[in-house]
Amino acid sequence: MAEVEADVAVVGAGLAGLTAARALRRAGASVAVLEARDRVGGRTLNHDLGDGKIVEVGGQWVGPTQHRLLGLARELGVGTFPTYGAGENVIEWNGELRRYKGTIPRINAAVLADVAQAQWRLDRMAREVPLDAPWQAPKAARWDAQTLESWLRGNLASRAARTLFEIGTEAVWAQEPGDLSLLHVLFYAHSAGGFDALFDTEGGAQQDRFVGGSQLLSLRLAQELGEAVHLQAPVRAIRHADGEVALQADGVTARARRAILAIPPTLCARIAYDPPLPGHRDQLTQRMPQGTVAKCMAIYDEPFWRDQGLSGQSTGVRGPVRLTYDNSPPDGSPGVLLGFLEGRFARQAGLMESQERRQAVIDTFARLFGPRAASPRDYVERLWAEEEWTRGCYGCAMPTGAWTEFGSALRAPIGPLHWAGAETATVWSGYMDGAVQSGDRAAAEALASLG
Ligand SMILES: Cc1cc2nc3c(=O)[nH]c(=O)nc-3n(C[C@H](O)[C@H](O)[C@H](O)COP(=O)(O)OP(=O)(O)OC[C@H]3O[C@@H](n4cnc5c(N)ncnc54)[C@H](O)[C@@H]3O)c2cc1C
């Protein structure tokens, strides 16, 4: 069993943990990073298509207001390129395919007006939620006692508008409107700068991609940290007393004065603590389930949909894939169609045999883009609920009652233990940008407490 000593031990080598470790190192503190997997990057993961071409099976997009992530990429020399969006989008509506340009689909005007009034009201409510303390919103108790689903039922006139909101909810949280506290949805939208920023490609969270794949950021950070990063070292137990923390991982024990846990809250609950965590904190982590996502890509010799004037962006209302994108490399070769199985569709697809799931995804692509989509030369998928060290995605979200009863435990340090990870961010919570913010914040906290 190897033994390491450092000022601060960091659990998790995703973007949050690596950002924290780099900030600590730069401030003169020594660090040891303990990572469960045999790789860094956590919820970001590059997949090699051959010939130096990359697609990501985890987080990939960056938006224009994600300044921390863009700043980090600049520092690390990782460039961006725009998500392919030329041409027309497709929506499957009342059983037929309709093409349209821009963000507003060509469907019934009354349904569009219904969606717009609801989104306008939700945006206005979201601005009332304090980002560092959502439970202090003037109407926090009322909003946290209901789900997004119950609010939509009371505030949308048409069933079709509810369906569109359901698709949007699955796209952002990989959960269903009935799973989410309304207060959480409002907090999340506020933390992103509004609902349009969450949903949009141009101007929103899906605007750009990283050259060489998003995992490159973590790979470069880890390179800088060198031997301080210990892979295949899942932390199983944490003991703390008398100003010292002992972390027991497979194959390595770390001693430190502070620890930063940069892992999803729901995974924090799987570590054994001595002394045990206060009930308030533990009960929070009992209430933050991960969403369910399978990210699926079909690979073609070329992006044939572009020749038909299509952007590759589509909304397949019937599912099981409800959203698609053109995810081809910057030079457009090979052609890659990306489809998400999210929320209830991902839960159902997770129960299928892999061949059956693949067929269901390809059948949806063929329905949306024609018979050529039925014969990809390759297929890549990643089911994040099956990943032992993530257990779902895109992140952990709050059901009713969690923010108002337990929210104050999300970031509050416990003795020498500090909490990081995308879920703990106040800006772009749940995103890579939020992970970076959380790493910097936790590092600053640990440094301040070290004196
Ligand atoms: C399919 C998918 C698509 C996404 N799309 C986007 C997107 O387009 N844009 C965007 O901004 N975000 C996206 N996200 C979310 C984004 O990837 C995450 O918010 C971000 O990467 C989280 O970083 P993190 O460091 O907080 O957590 P993680 O990346 O989860 O890192 C935590 C690390 O801790 C390790 N770990 C866990 N338990 C232990 C333990 N006990 N001991 C040691 N190590 C442990 C894990 O292996 C992991 O490496 C997506 C996520 C997924 C999965």
pLDDT tens, residue by residue, 252-289: 999 999 999 999 999 999 999 999 999 999 999 999 99
The amino acid present at 105, given as its one-letter code, is P
Which atom of ligand 1 approaches the CA of 18 most closely?
Answer: 25
Which atom of ligand 1 approaches the CA of 61 most closely?
Answer: 8
Is the pLDDT at 169 greater than 90? The verdict is: yes
Residue for token digits 């202090």?
136
Nearest CA to ligand 1 atom 34: 12
CA 268 and chain centroid, separation = 17
Three-class secondary structure of residue 378 per DSSP: strand
Is the pLDDT at 1 greater than 90? The verdict is: no
Is the pLDDT at 230 greater than 90? The verdict is: yes
> Which pLDDT band holds residue 209 (cuts at 50, 70, 90)?
very high
Is the pLDDT at 226 greater than 90? The verdict is: yes
Domain ranges of the chain: 2-43+214-288+398-450, 46-85+205-212+291-386, 110-191
- Give the residue among 210, 219, 217 at the shortest CA–CA distance from 39: 219
Q: Give residue 298's pLDDT.
A: 98
Q: Which of 198, 266, 394 to mutate to test the pocket of ligand 1 (most atoms within 8 A of CB)?
A: 394
CATH number of 110-191: 1.10.405.10
**Which class is 46-85+205-212+291-386 in CATH?**
alpha beta
> How many angstroms does the Cα of residue 155 sit away from the middle of ligand 1?
34
What average pLDDT does the segment 183-187 reach?
98
- High-pLDDT (> 90) share of the chain, %: 99
Nearest CA to ligand 1 atom 37: 389
Which atom of ligand 1 approaches the CA of 57 most closely?
Answer: 1
> Which pLDDT band holds residue 74 (cuts at 50, 70, 90)?
very high
Three-class secondary structure of residue 151 per DSSP: helix
Q: Name the DSSP class of 376.
A: -
Residue pair 93/322 in contact (Cβ under 8 Å)? The answer is no
Instruction: Give the pocket of ligand 1 (CB within 6 Å).
Output: 11-17, 34-37, 42-44, 58-61, 234-235, 262-264, 267, 271, 293, 295, 384, 389-390, 393-395, 421-422, 430-433, 435
Domain 2-43+214-288+398-450 indexed as CATH 1.10.1520.10: no
The amino acid present at 277, given as its one-letter code, is L
> Which pLDDT band holds residue 329 (cuts at 50, 70, 90)?
very high
Q: Which two tokens stand for residue 252?
A: 């390595």
CA 267 and chain centroid, separation = 15
Residue pair 277/414 in contact (Cβ under 8 Å)? The answer is yes
What average pLDDT does the segment 48-75 reach?
97
Q: How far apart are CA 156 and CA 420, in angstroms?
A: 37
| pTM for the whole structure | 0.98
- Give the residue among 400, 393, 385, 411 at the shortest CA–CA distance from 287: 400
> How many angstroms does the Cα of residue 390 sit away from the middle of ligand 1?
7
Three-class secondary structure of residue 88 per DSSP: strand
Q: How far apart are CA 115 and CA 318, in angstroms?
A: 19
> How many angstroms does the Cα of residue 30 sit away from the middle of ligand 1?
24
- High-pLDDT (> 70) share of the chain, %: 100
Task: Give the C-alpha distances (Å, rounded to integers) separating 6 from 32, 125, 142, 257.
Answer: 6, 45, 46, 7
Is the pLDDT at 439 greater than 90? The verdict is: yes
Q: Which of 18, 43, 273 to mutate to test the pocket of ligand 1 (most atoms within 8 A of CB)?
A: 43
Q: Which two tokens stand for residue 279?
A: 């009930």
Q: Give residue 206's pLDDT.
A: 98
Q: Give residue 451's pLDDT.
A: 86
pLDDT digits (tens, 9 = 90+) for 107-147: 999 999 999 999 999 999 999 999 999 999 999 999 999 99
pLDDT digits (tens, 9 = 90+) for 341-367: 999 999 999 999 999 999 999 999 999
> How many angstroms does the Cα of residue 318 sit away from the middle of ligand 1?
29
Q: Give residue 165's pLDDT.
A: 97
> How many angstroms does the Cα of residue 41 sit away from the middle of ligand 1?
7
Q: How far apart are CA 447 and CA 451, in angstroms?
A: 6
pLDDT digits (tens, 9 = 90+) for 365-398: 999 999 999 999 999 999 999 999 999 999 999 9
Q: Which of 22, 263, 288 to mutate to test the pocket of ligand 1 (most atoms within 8 A of CB)?
A: 263
Q: How far apart are CA 180 and CA 149, in angstroms?
A: 8
Q: Do domains 2-43+214-288+398-450 and 110-191 have the same CATH topology?
A: no
